Chains A and B, each alone.
Chain A
Amino acid sequence: MIHIICALKCEAKSLIAHHRLKVCAESASFPLYMSQDKQMSLTICGIGKINAAAATAFTHAFLQTGKQDIWLNIGIAGHKNLDIGKIIIAHKIVEQSTQQSWYPQILFSPLCRSMEVLSCDHPATDYTDTVFSDSIFEMEAAGFYATACRFATSELIHVVKIISDNQQHQADKISASFVAGLLKDKLEIIEQLITSLRQLAKDLDSPNETPDYYGQIIEKWRFTHTQRNKLKSCLNRWHVLCPDKNPMKFLDGCLQSKEVINQITNKLDMFPICF
């Protein structure tokens, strides 16, 4: 599943339209949109890192997000001299107030340049200020990233910014329609990024929490919590070594859960291991 966090509705507009996202009426705290297949969510967080952190945490709690989910913060940013409309992916995020840093892991080839992003507490107006160095500056990335890292793996969490203002075209000239247009123009690159991340997420296997036959077995015998975990581990092993065989066939004579586990383990130890 993909979760997108945008500060403003105008930043989200083209994504909502492109993915035909529908507003989720049950979400009272933040405006949250969902795709029909429930594979994409978009939350509008409002301006600033606290809002971004809160909306990220809310999205996680509201949708019960998983470790393999993809998280994106998409929005606008400023830079002293980068061209308006330039799209950037963050390879380093610095929180201006604390100087704490995060390093998003870019394990694919994005169609855009990567740069350092400086997350400020207040809107920046002096583009020549040396504090910005060569970073792009905005207000949500640090809050979003630090929070999303609690819920997913960092390789699948990214910050994408489109330059909306620079020394020549300052922030006070930005309008909602202008921002919506900037995002719309970069949809193709954003879609490519989403495709790359989906591909990456597929490679994150995790042990099956309810392996085949698990339900059948725990219905028939009484297992303690520890035994259930042991059973899951045995059945996952079973799935690897002999996916075509049905373990139930070997459990007919078992009276107790302990015997079930022993029987499966003994059978597993007899299966050939071939390399």
Chain B
Amino acid sequence: MIKTIYIEKQIANHPRTREILARFPDTTQIYCDRYGEIFNRKAQSFRLQKKQPALILAKKHKGFVLPAPEAYGIGAKENYYFSHMMNCLYDCRYCFLQGMYRSAHYVLFVNYEDFANEIENKIQKTDEEIHFFSGYDCDSLALEPVTNFLEYFLPIFRKHHKTLLEIRTKSTQIRTLLNTEPFENCVLAWSFTPDEIAAALEHKTPSVERRIEAIAKLQEKGWHIGLRFDPLIYSSEYQSQYRKLFADTLQRCNPELLHSVTLGSFRLPKGYFKSLQKMYPDERLFSSPLEETNGMFGYKAQIQSEMLNFCRKEILNYIPEKIFFPCHDIL
């Protein structure tokens, strides 16, 4: 539950700000000049703040739409991501956000209009198919009742058939989606790890079963679904755990509405990895057989390769190769 809201003075009167503040009349509301005064300060503990994150309402000034990291794509040449929020309701131990940000508070950029303009600009500039990803610096849906992200952004993409919007999430906040007419060029993508791993590492997230139920409801409504087995987490039992996960998810998905399946290994930039290891010294994940290659920490090459090959083989038992996007060059 949000107890404190910081508000940048310059967006204090933005209609979205007023709407959000009205929803939380009992919170402590504190005004600031720029969100960085709180979010970027040194001497903060991400781990402690995660116990009681505050909401920061801010204005984004630049970098509304950014090129997606390499190997993040699902078929298009032009890939961009945009983040209306920074940080996430959930607390996944492998998440790079913990290493990237000093603060665990949620920053919500309320000037959606500026994001929309930039998205429109990118679309106008090309005749190529262009993919946009949401959910890179936050979970796209987890705070939907507060952000109304879908209500604003879905209509923008609905009218541009040559674009594709991927909304990545672990959330089961699907009410808005169930009340919205689906459209072809929108993919709702859920991330999964096996039950046991999710229970150990994906704190505060809906269970795998609840995510599958949400997917089933949305497919019934006609939405296109993506499955993201990313990051792959190694355990001594990974083969049986992932075999079960693939059966649970892929078998229960309507193949006609399954847009794509991706696979990605666990990897973190060295600096982020070191921060996380320091933050959670007793976390088993960080004591796994990992190694550093070119400034990135990941599983030792042999383990990684074995896992990716195993998972690839298993996944292809259920789906055609054309909708499978392994996000690593080892395969």
B200 touches A155 (CB 8 A): no
Q: Main SS of the interface on chain A?
A: loop
Give Cα A16–Cα B176 distance, bound, in whole angstroms: 58
A153 touches B44 (CB 8 A): yes
Give Cα A239–Cα B234 distance, bound, in whole angstroms: 19
Q: Is A236 an interface residue (CB 8 A)?
A: yes
Q: Is A108 an interface residue (CB 8 A)?
A: yes
B236 proximity list for chain A (CB < 8 A) = 272-274
Looking at the complex, which of A75-83, A164-172, A185-193, A201-209 is the stretch in contact with chain B?
A201-209
Q: Is A106 an interface residue (CB 8 A)?
A: yes
Contacts A103-B37, A207-B281, A269-B289 known; A275 to B30 CB distance under 8 Å?
no
A275 proximity list for chain B (CB < 8 A) = 194, 196-197, 199-201, 233, 235, 237, 241, 284
Give Cα A108–Cα B45 distance, bound, in whole angstroms: 14
A91 touches B30 (CB 8 A): yes
Q: Is B313 an interface residue (CB 8 A)?
A: no
Q: Is B249 an interface residue (CB 8 A)?
A: no
Which residues from 166 to 197 on chain B have a C-beta closer than 8 Å to any C-beta of chain A? 194, 196-197
Q: How many A-B residue pairs have CB under 8 A?
A: 105
Contacts A107-B48, A153-B45, A200-B48 known; A236 to B281 CB distance under 8 Å?
yes
CB nearest neighbor in B for A201: B48
Contacts A105-B44, A105-B49, A149-B43 known; A240 to B289 CB distance under 8 Å?
no
Q: Is A268 an interface residue (CB 8 A)?
A: yes
Q: Of A107, A150, A239, which one neighbours B52 at CB under 8 angstroms?
A: A107
B52 touches A203 (CB 8 A): no
Q: Report which residue of B48, B234, B283 has the largest number of chain A beta carbons within 10 angstroms of its beta carbon.
A: B48
B52 proximity list for chain A (CB < 8 A) = 107-108
Contacts A108-B52, A268-B289 known; A154 to B37 CB distance under 8 Å?
no
Tell me the smallest distance from the CB of B184 to a CB of chain A, in Å.
38
B37 proximity list for chain A (CB < 8 A) = 101, 103
Q: Is B278 an interface residue (CB 8 A)?
A: yes
Give Cα A44–Cα B28 distance, bound, in whole angstroms: 31
B289 touches A103 (CB 8 A): no
Give Cα A208–Cα B277 distance, bound, in whole angstroms: 12
Jot down 15 A-B pairs with beta carbons below 8 A, ordered by A: A103-B38, A105-B44, A116-B30, A154-B44, A155-B49, A156-B48, A200-B51, A205-B47, A205-B280, A206-B281, A268-B287, A268-B289, A273-B289, A274-B235, A274-B237
Given contacts A105-B48, A241-B287, A273-B288, 5 further A-B contacts (CB under 8 A): A101-B33, A107-B51, A155-B45, A273-B236, A273-B287
Residues in chain A within 8 A of chain B (CB atoms): 91-92, 101-103, 105-109, 114, 116, 149-150, 152-156, 200, 203-208, 236-237, 239-241, 268-269, 272-275
